[in-house]
């Protein structure tokens, strides 16, 4: 990853480049740095849109341009941009964002941030789009799955979400597909020549979970896993049907779920073992995700 880091908008930040490069080198023993040659896409203007899975809350150092978005300076858009050698990066990923925040301002603890679509201009050549989990309320549903005591002392989140024979999360996934289509259309209207990639979600839990290390019953762990599979399937199918690419994060993250040991896992459990938000990617995960982005984009 030689050379300067691409700008976020107009301003170069050499000091942050140095810190970011240092962190990537430090994680190399657990996940090899992205393997693209420097300046692979030197004439490319890259815009990264997305939620906290892309923003990387608490993964240091943090980007202070929009502090309410809790965006890391070494999230996967930044690492992929460095490896690809793009001309510029406009990273507007934001903690808690959903498809609505593409089109309207988002309220944060530090004031409103502009609609993410404003990152797209006629000069944009490459776009990654990472949304869906907040639209279906996946984090809240996952928190409802926590049971500190074994069965039958508690309530199953699967039973709650599928009561009456209707899978409420699956229904929300189906309802989110038109929002993805509308977002793809909005991006193309602003940047007709841009290559657009929809990014899926990682593997957060293995089959059957790992109770009590992660206090989610087996039945509920499998339900959350199947819900993520359904969400990723919708994102992939909708992307392909609308002439966009799809970047798979679930496959490369198998074996790196939150049940694994520190230094192996790419996402953190409820009590993180490294500096990252609970149930979110850590710095090693961001390196792995960047590898997947670069491999697909190239």
Q: Which residues are catalytic?
A: 52, 280
| CA pair distance 16, 61, nearest whole angstrom | 8
| CA pair distance 262, 274, nearest whole angstrom | 7
How far is CA 98 from each of CA 38, 52, 149, rounded to the nearest angstrom?
32, 10, 33
User: Residue 197: helix, strand or coil by DSSP?
Assistant: strand
Taking alpha carbons only, the member of 48, 44, 37 closest to residue 1 is: 37
- The length of the chain is 298
| CA pair distance 173, 131, nearest whole angstrom | 11
Question: What are the residues whose beta carbons fall under 8 Å from the beta carbon of 260, sequence distance 6 or more?
Answer: none
In this structure, what DSSP letter does residue 260 have? S
Taking alpha carbons only, the member of 287, 11, 12 closest to residue 3 is: 12
Contact of 231 with 136, CB cutoff 8 Å: yes
- Give the distance, in angstroms, between the CA of residue 63 and the centroid of all CA atoms in the same chain: 16
- Cite the DSSP H helix spans in the chain: 14-26, 52-55, 76-84, 100-103, 138-144, 157-161, 168-190, 218-241, 283-297
């Amino acid at each position: 990853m030689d050379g300067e880091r691409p700008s976020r908008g107009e301003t170069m930040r050499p000091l942050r480049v140095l810190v970011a490069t240092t962190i990537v080198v430090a994680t190399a023993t657990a996940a090899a740095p992205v393997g693209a040659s420097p300046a692979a896409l030197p004439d490319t203007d890259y815009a990264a849109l997305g939620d906290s899975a892309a923003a990387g809350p608490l993964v240091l150092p943090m980007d202070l341009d929009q502090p309410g978005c809790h965006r890391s300076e070494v999230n996967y858009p930044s690492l992929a941009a460095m490896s690809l050698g793009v001309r510029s990066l406009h990273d507007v990923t934001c903690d808690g964002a959903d498809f609505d925040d593409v089109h309207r301002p988002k309220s944060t603890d530090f004031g409103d941030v502009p609609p993410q679509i404003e990152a797209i201009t006629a000069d944009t050549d490459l776009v990654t789009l990472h949304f869906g989990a907040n639209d279906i309320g996946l984090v809240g549903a996952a928190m409802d799955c926590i049971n500190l005591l074994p069965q039958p002392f508690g309530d199953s989140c699967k039973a709650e979400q599928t009561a009456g024979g209707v899978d409420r999360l699956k229904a929300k996934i189906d309802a989110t597909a038109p929002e993805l289509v509308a977002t793809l259309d909005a991006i193309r209207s602003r940047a007709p020549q841009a290559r657009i990639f929809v990014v899926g979600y990682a593997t957060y839990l293995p089959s059957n979970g790992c109770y009590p290390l992660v206090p989610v019953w087996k039945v509920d762990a499998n339900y959350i896993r199947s819900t993520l599979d359904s969400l990723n399937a919708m994102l992939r199918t909708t992307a392909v049907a609308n002439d966009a690419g799809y970047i798979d994060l679930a496959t490369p993250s198998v074996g790196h779920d939150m049940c694994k040991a520190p230094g192996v896992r790419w996402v953190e459990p409820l009590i993180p073992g490294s500096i990252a938000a609970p149930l979110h990617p850590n710095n090693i995960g961001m390196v792995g995700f960047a590898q997947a982005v670069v491999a697909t984009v190239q």
